[in-house]
Structure 1
Amino acid sequence: MTRTVAVVLAVLVTTATLSAAAAGGAVGASQPTESLAATDAQADGYAGSHIEFATSSNAVVDYRVGGQPVFENVSVESRSAHHSQTGIGADVGLSAVTNLSGIGLEIAAQTETRAEIATEGSASLSAHDTDRGILTVNAGEDAQYVQLNLSEESTAAVSDEGDRVHVDSGDRTGVLLVAGDGDVAVTDTGDVAADLERESTLVFRSYADDERDDDAAEQERLIADGTAPAEVYADDRDGDRVADVATYGQDVAVETHDEAADRLEMAVERAQHEGTVVIVSVSEAALEAVGSADDLAVTVDGEAAAEADSYSDLEGGIGEEPRYMVTHSSEASAAADVLVAVDHFSEREVAIQSDTEDGADDGDSDSVPGFGIVAAIGALLAAVGARVR
């Protein structure tokens, strides 16, 4: 049976004109798709509000977040090709994997919030213009090595958790982890290498100042173990709303469509029946219309979702009942993350609607009170639609 999940983000209720960036493959047919040639992007690189980089014939070059240099270059090569070229066996430790030849790559598509980078092999890269500077490398159908040479300002160390690598770049801290099967390690030369099994993803997230706290570490855990296969980002730029979605798993598909002026629905599919967690990051600028993260609320099937008081409680909602948590990025920032645990999947309809008493109890009503401007929200959240293999 198709069910309806309503995720209420009151912060997004605004009369401002929305400029939504397409966040991947398929979006609702009623929503215009942004041009793939963003005005601030270059043919051989990308320059956005938060990230910038260039590309060579076989590497991503000078990857920066918030103006801070992080990686001198990022290159990818299939494991089999590297072993064949170097004569190195599979039993050699990951820390010895250096000097990758790299495979050819090019920017295949660009939007205001995203750059898709295709390679000559099965691997693909996505750079997300968010304040976390997310960069992902998906292995595709073949196992891959990834080499990340650090900038002069950066240093790398294995985290206390043991399954992640921290990259310190001045006033920013980045974390590299593998979603799926694989490993990431500091090499003998002080740089970083990753070994990805097929269909696994290397994920880089960056935090400013003291933003990487216990909540950030918990989110990283959810991404690494496959519990959180998607992360949505909402921002306000010069009065316009933009949105992006980063996907870390291979079995999730999201497509948005505006059913009515007072209601937005999003079709969500997952190959597995098991539920999952979706991370929704709302920037400080996007929250200004509301003034506080306390104004964010979540409903599921027209019913208020249960508020979890811990991550274990949140994850307990999978297979039981929809639950949510709201966390703050840091004491110095008003930005917030809303983590929504969906109980189970097949094909489901996600409805975005106003945070009103009547609206929460009557998801099927033709007119939801307080929702005269939801058509604008529809334009924003259409940008979140992403079709993933």
Structure 2
Amino acid sequence: MNRIAVVLAALLVTAAVPVGSVAAQQSSTDASAYTGTHVSFDTKTNAVTNYTVDGVTVVESVETSSQADASVGLDVALSAVTDVEASGLSLAATSETNATVRADSGATLRAHDNPKGTLVVSAGNESQYVTADLGANATAAQAGNSRIIVEQDGRMGAFILVGNGSVTVNEEGNVTADLQNGSRLVYRSYSDGRTDDDKQTEKLIASGSATTEVYVMQDGDETTVDAIHYDENTTVELSEQTKDNVTVTIDRSVHQGTVVVTSVSEEALAATDNLSVMVDGEAAVQASSYTELQSAANGGETSKYLVQETSAEGETNVLVAVNHFSERQVTMSGDDSSSTSDETTTPESSDDTTSDKTTEDAEATETTSGEDAAETTTSSTSAPGFGVGLTVVALAGAALVARRRA
């Protein structure tokens, strides 16, 4: 009888383990590798290797080194840094939506298991060198001071510098970055081409205007949520969810506003054509351009939002610019029966005013490629079949995940 009791107790404990915990355990069976729905990679003694997005190896290896320990002369140009004394690293943690690798140098590499395969290398409290080897078929080109655009076998990608430092194509055609303490190097992969909307989102991230990105994805019957933070000042949590509206609380430790990028898969939403956004009880306005969106985030009179069309099938992005902080409540509501017009707003076109950094215009002649110089702030707004229902159901999915994990 005692043996039976022990077995029954073990079964009860096993049944109580959340689904997410089981998934995390399965993905970390190999202590040196990670395999998710979209992203997989290996870790060697001092490098993340074979970084793969949807079956395509987009980066062969990524290494970091503390600048305090690197044997690089002060007079050596960053483009000449092709090989660093790579720091030891190890796979530290995995979850349903991301995997974290920690380096002895103090850097952190976090892979996000979303359709763009986002990789964020954070310098931490020490300045770092980062080198990324792209592979034989890849070509890399400078696009402004803060971005490197990569093309490989028809697939596009972008390395984005967030914060202080620099990023360049080195003498071997790979990518080298100088990350000052607190800065980040972000990689995003585009399976279906890099659109004008993608370019503008990159600029919002590089300039520090967009500090948070949230992916809501469907995996079978389960909705998963992946949050990416591009600074240390912003947190987002679900406050209230009903059938017709969702309220989230966005908290920042600084007064300055920010843009929150939300990417939602078609499987994770039930769409409607209407979208209304309220911030602290006041209606947000639909922006007509990225310049207008960024202005709202930089202390505009009212908060605004913009709905993108993306090249990825079954995915849409909603960008919400909250005009000031510290803590704000954002309520998104939908009503299928209240549509008054089928007309959509066509954003205005303008010069490339959403620059990567405030100093970029002065240096654009020297560092900006022809491809990037031609980018404009043209965008697309509400796509048919998407709207508030998208956001409501997506955030409702986030609430389900939060409840399951709680």
**TM tier relative to shorter chain:** 0.7 to 0.9
In structure 2, the residue matched to 1:98 is 82
Cα distance change, pair 297–109 in 1 and its aligned pair in 2 (3 A): farther
Unmatched 5+ stretches in structure 2 = 1-17, 339-391
The question of 1:283 aligning with 2:270 is answered no
Equivalent residues of 2:277, 2:333 under 8 A apart:
no
Q: In the alignment, residue 344 of structure 1 is paired with which amino acid?
A: H
In structure 2, the residue matched to 1:324 is 305
Alignment partner of 2:68: what SS? helix
The question of 1:339 aligning with 2:323 is answered no
Cα distance change, pair 260–173 in 1 and its aligned pair in 2 (3 A): closer
In structure 2, the residue matched to 1:49 is 37
Post-superposition offset of 1:259: 7.8
Alignment partner of 1:112: what SS? coil
Q: In the alignment, residue 338 of structure 1 is paired with which amino acid?
A: V
The question of 1:192 aligning with 2:175 is answered yes
Looking at structure 1, the residues matched to 107 and 88 of structure 2 have their Cα atoms a distance apart, in angstroms, of 11
In structure 2, the residue matched to 1:308 is 287
Post-superposition offset of 1:262: 8.1
Looking at structure 2, the residues matched to 143 and 301 of structure 1 have their Cα atoms a distance apart, in angstroms, of 39
In structure 2, the residue matched to 1:127 is 111
Equivalent residues of 1:158, 1:164 under 8 A apart:
yes
In structure 1, the residue matched to 2:149 is 166
Q: What root-mean-square deviation, in Å, do the aligned CA atoms of Structure 1 and Structure 2 show? A: 2.9
Q: Which has the higher helix share?
A: 2
Q: In the alignment, residue 322 of structure 1 is paired with which amino acid?
A: S
In structure 1, the residue matched to 2:121 is 137
The question of 1:39 aligning with 2:26 is answered yes
Post-superposition offset of 1:384: 12
Q: In the alignment, residue 168 of structure 2 is paired with which amino acid?
A: A
Post-superposition offset of 1:316: 2.4
Cα distance change, pair 373–135 in 1 and its aligned pair in 2 (3 A): closer
Q: In the alignment, residue 250 of structure 1 is paired with which amino acid?
A: E
Any idea what the Cα deviations from partners look like across 1:187-219, whole Å, max 9, x if unmatched? 111111100011000010111122x11111111
Question: Which region of structure 1 is more displaced relative to structure 2, 90-99 or 300-309?
Answer: 300-309
Looking at structure 2, the residues matched to 97 and 373 of structure 1 have their Cα atoms a distance apart, in angstroms, of 43
* Matching of residues 43-82 of structure 1 within 5 Å: 43-82=31-70
Equivalent residues of 1:51, 1:128 under 8 A apart:
yes
Equivalent residues of 1:95, 1:187 under 8 A apart:
yes
Unmatched 5+ stretches in structure 1 = 1-31, 360-370
Q: In the alignment, residue 180 of structure 1 is paired with which amino acid?
A: G
Q: In the alignment, residue 328 of structure 2 is paired with which amino acid?
A: R
Looking at structure 2, the residues matched to 375 and 223 of structure 1 have their Cα atoms a distance apart, in angstroms, of 26
Q: TM-score, normalised by structure 1?
A: 0.77
Any idea what the Cα deviations from partners look like across 1:27-46, whole Å, max 9, x if unmatched? xxxxx794283423432111
Alignment partner of 2:24: what SS? coil
Any idea what the Cα deviations from partners look like across 1:15-61, whole Å, max 9, x if unmatched? xxxxxxxxxxxxxxxxx794283423432111111111000121101
Looking at structure 1, the residues matched to 393 and 196 of structure 2 have their Cα atoms a distance apart, in angstroms, of 38
Alignment partner of 2:204: what SS? helix
Any idea what the Cα deviations from partners look like across 1:221-277, whole Å, max 9, x if unmatched? 110010001110111121321110111112213344558898765442212101110
Looking at structure 1, the residues matched to 56 and 90 of structure 2 have their Cα atoms a distance apart, in angstroms, of 23
Alignment partner of 2:320: what SS? strand
Alignment partner of 1:218: what SS? helix
Post-superposition offset of 1:314: 1.2
Looking at structure 2, the residues matched to 134 and 201 of structure 1 have their Cα atoms a distance apart, in angstroms, of 12
State the identity %. Answer: 40
Equivalent residues of 1:267, 1:347 under 8 A apart:
yes
In structure 1, the residue matched to 2:202 is 220
Looking at structure 2, the residues matched to 173 and 67 of structure 1 have their Cα atoms a distance apart, in angstroms, of 14
In structure 2, the residue matched to 1:15 is none
Post-superposition offset of 1:65: 1.0
In structure 2, the residue matched to 1:26 is none
Alignment partner of 1:80: what SS? coil
Any idea what the Cα deviations from partners look like across 1:297-333, whole Å, max 9, x if unmatched? 4332344320011011112223221100001112x72
Post-superposition offset of 1:172: 1.4
Cα distance change, pair 346–186 in 1 and its aligned pair in 2 (3 A): same
In structure 2, the residue matched to 1:238 is 220
In structure 2, the residue matched to 1:368 is none
* Count of matched residue pairs: 332
The question of 1:117 aligning with 2:97 is answered no
In structure 2, the residue matched to 1:379 is 400
Alignment partner of 2:267: what SS? helix
Looking at structure 2, the residues matched to 43 and 245 of structure 1 have their Cα atoms a distance apart, in angstroms, of 24
Cα distance change, pair 188–50 in 1 and its aligned pair in 2 (3 A): same
Looking at structure 1, the residues matched to 278 and 402 of structure 2 have their Cα atoms a distance apart, in angstroms, of 16
Alignment partner of 2:129: what SS? strand
Cα distance change, pair 356–263 in 1 and its aligned pair in 2 (3 A): closer
Q: In the alignment, residue 67 of structure 1 is paired with which amino acid?
A: G
Question: Which region of structure 1 is more displaced relative to structure 2, 242-251 or 127-136?
Answer: 242-251
Q: In the alignment, residue 379 of structure 1 is paired with which amino acid?
A: L
Q: In the alignment, residue 268 of structure 2 is paired with which amino acid?
A: A
Q: TM-score, normalised by structure 2?
A: 0.74
Greater gyration radius: 2
